[in-house]
Amino acid sequence: MKRSKTKTAYRRRAERQCDLGFIGGGNMATALIKGLLSSGVYRAEQICASDVDAQKRTALRRRFGVSVTQDNAALMRAARVIVLAVKPQILAGVLQEVHDAVTPEKLILSIAAGITTARLQGLLGPGVRILRAMPNTPALLGRAVSVLVRGRYATAADERLGLRLLRAVGQAAAVPDERLLNAVTGLSGSGPAYVYRFAEGMMAGGVAAGLTAQLATQLTLQTISGAAAMLQETGQAPEALRAMVSSPGGTTVAGLSELERRGFKDAVAAAVVTATRRSEELGRG
């Protein structure tokens, strides 16, 4: 009985005022809530979240102590700043649910890939202040990189607040041209998956060359981590760092030649462009 009363209390809190609300309680919302609490930008009692999945609501409530509800419209009424953290394919339906609760006093931050501020404006109504951002999944470790753009009615102060939220989980920057967000999505939004695919190939190659799976994994992860650190900390171009380990006639040149023969660099560049085009398609609905 006591436990039931506690759950009811959390639902009631979610329907009262909160400073920051999340519609959608998946990985990105979890990462942002974790970062905002650990950095002290918000306290648990200032945050509320909604999700149709009871397990996600329970996980957020137990892990962070935030208020939760399954009622998206109630959350929209309660929160002053709302993060739209649902998949782009279902966003229009979610916004239909909450439309009547949206007012110009609300600040909406969407992290749905490909959905333009103009389309969001059409779904939410004129005068609504909208920010759109593209973070990536390393937010779960506080290592994200995010890019943000203002909608038509958002102010410079809104932009600063949006950047403050995003910087709780990594680096963040603002751009003036929303069209750039499609390329951001194709590069950094989807980019972690390209790196993971590369890691799969390195691990498989190590095993094929005779290493145990455990040792191949260890060497792959540390090699990728170390190479990224070299790029970040030395400030040198990738070409210069590559040249440092590419002795004429040596093993590295042999391996790179095989990558080039199979079109590795062009394939990676094509992946970024293709993902960018898919982001554009999502924006057109």
pLDDT in tens, 194-240: 999 999 999 999 999 999 999 999 999 999 999 999 999 999 999 99
Is 183 inside a domain boundary?
no
**Total number of domains constituting the chain:** 2
CB atoms within 10 A of CB 21: 28
Q: Are residues 171 and 202 in the same domain?
A: no
Token representation of residue 228: 């990224």
Answer yes or no: do 36 and 157 share one domain: yes
Mean pLDDT of all residues in the chain? Answer: 92
Please state, as a whole number, how many other Cβ atoms lie within 10 Å of the Cβ of residue 223.
Answer: 13
pLDDT in tens, 56-86: 999 999 999 999 999 999 999 999 999 999 9
How far is Cα 206 from Cα 32, in angstroms, rounded to an integer? 36
Q: What is the pLDDT of residues 13-65, one digit of tens each?
A: 445 589 999 999 999 999 999 999 998 999 999 999 999 999 999 999 999 99
Q: 40 and 157, same structural domain?
A: yes
> Which run of H or E residues covers position 157?
helix 156-166
- Domain boundary residue among 144, 175, 206? 175
As a whole number of angstroms, the distance between CA 249 and CA 284 comes to 50
